[in-house]
Amino acid sequence: MYFEQFYLGCLAHASYMLASEGEAVVVDPQRDVEIYLKAAAEHGFAIRHVFETHLHADFVSGHRELSARTGAKIYIGAQAGAKFPHVEVRDGFELKFGKASLRALETPGHTLESVCLVVIDEETSHSPWAVLTGDTLFIGDVGRPDLSPKHTPPQLAGMLYDSLHDKLLKLADNVLVYPAHGAGSLCGKNMRAERSSTIGTERLTNYALQLRSKEEFVNVLTSNLPARPDYFLKDAEINRAGATNLSDLQPLRAITPVELKSMLERDEVALDVRFADDFASAHVPGSINIGLSGQFASWAGTVLGITAHPVLIAASEEQLQEARIRLARVGIEVFDGYLEGGVQAWKQSGFPVATVSQITARELQSELHSHDLQILDVRRAPEWEAGHIEHATWWPLDHFKVSPPEIDRSAPLAVHCKSGYRSMIACSLLQRAGFTRVLNVTGGFDAWQDANLPIASAKGAPA
């Protein structure tokens, strides 16, 4: 049996292709499906089946396009309410392909329709070889239980406990575990960096499987959940209907600097996708920077929402195309256009550029006693609670879509995250909101720690 994991780092998303005797199955495909078509062609496979372990909320799936281009059937949990032609999957459903098979386990909890797929390679054994766990069981974690508009997190967490203990943990310890996400995904809060594990390893090391009772499991799973971006429920609805083909998206329209200036005066959005240092050196005033490095699409969905229709600003045609594909993966498909000629054209039109001053951790430490310097920490709650700079204000980047922090807009403000990626996004949003003296802390809290500078604990005492 052929088996391959495709890992998309920017979304921490894992999809899979399995094949036997020329017949292939794709599980949880990403939006742009060329990688599966290319792999199938290289190996002489025909893609006949596409499985979704659930309605994904953090990305838009390519199941419908992959089906249209190959003739494959789509399989999804019976509780999904899918609006495209599909085969409903229930407990005990089995699909044979060549000398291999998939057997479904209904595992509600992360979502109602969640299923896990037990893989049997009949060429080597009639016992389960692996299980594709979707967002039910991760490496070091389990799925978040707050993605249903009809069920409360405690209700879903209770279902998840039963699914784990009555279904997945009944499998043998040597069964391999392949989830749909890895470290960095917002679908869990404590994932490890490994891309696979075993049932036995997770039984011994996964904190959620160590909890002694269902009540304790529910309490732990429903506390300190990471913020849920607004686009999650919208992406799930897109996946319920099936997304349009990427080839159907309209070409980007070229926007002149004069047009963009007028649009910004009407408070429309310009999204600069260049790297942080390029943005800091010179950018269109009022533009928002989300660099193509890092979790670009997730932060764009979180900060802008998927109904945004920004003007893209990039350094090259390649950056534009990459940005467009990555934004489409989370459902941002409609754009007002792109700035023709980029920031250079803006300058040549005689319009002023803005900059972001940058400061190192040691420079920040030497300025701490300046009477008007403010420090803003934009990391998530667990990061802040693990340690932070004393007297810093905490306002996570997830909250910026609601409002900027309520602090002095005219005093100098040093902004930091873990490494510098999120802080530059925050700096651009703060400038757009009217903060006039924003400083980006290069290297972020990591650089502060590397310099052995003092850290305060969650209770405020130096650590």
> What residue type is 75 in one-letter code?
Y
**Structural domain contains residue 312:** yes
Domain match, 344 and 365 both: no
Is residue 31 pLDDT above 60, yes or no? yes
- 167 three-state secondary structure: coil
Last residue in a domain, options 348, 366, 398: 348
Confidence of residue 458 (pLDDT cuts 50, 70, 90): low
One domain for residues 312 and 415: no
Residues 59/11, Cβ–Cβ less than 8 Å: yes
Write down the number of H helices and E strands in the chain.
16, 22
Range of the structural domain that residue 210 is part of: 2-241
Q: Is residue 32 domain-shared with residue 88, that is, in the same domain?
A: yes
Residue 190's pLDDT band, with cuts at 50, 70 and 90, is confident
Percent of the chain with pLDDT over 90: 87
Q: If you average pLDDT over residues 238-249, what whole number do you get?
A: 93
The rounded distance, in Å, linking the Cα atoms of 321 and 455 is 42
Mark whether 182 and 79 lie in a shared domain.
Answer: yes
Same domain, 7 and 126: yes
CB atoms within 10 A of CB 200: 14
Answer yes or no: is 458 within a domain: no
Q: How far is C-alpha 355 from the geometric centre of its chain's CA atoms? A: 28
Of 241, 273, 303, which marks where a domain is finished?
241
Q: Would you say 108 and 161 are in contact if contact means Cβ atoms under 8 Å apart?
A: no
Q: What mean pLDDT comes out for the span 386-411? A: 91
* Residue 225, in any domain of the structure: yes
- In DSSP notation, 5-39 reads EEEEGGGTEEEEEEEETTEEEEES--S-THHHHHH
Asked if 120 and 126 touch (Cβ cutoff 8 Å), the reply is yes
> Whole-angstrom Cα distance, residue 267 to residue 333?
20
Regarding whether 311 and 253 lie in a shared domain, the answer is: yes
Report CA Rg, the chain: 24
How many folded domains does the chain comprise?
Answer: 3
For 285-309, write each residue's pLDDT tens digit. Answer: 999 999 998 789 999 999 999 999 9
pTM: 0.92
3 state DSSP class of 197 = strand
Residue 461 covered by a domain: no
The confidence score (pLDDT) of residue 461 equals 37
User: Side-chain half-sphere of 231: how many Cα atoms within 13 Å?
Assistant: 24
Question: Are 196 and 226 in the same domain?
Answer: yes
Domain ends where: 219, 241, 263? Answer: 241
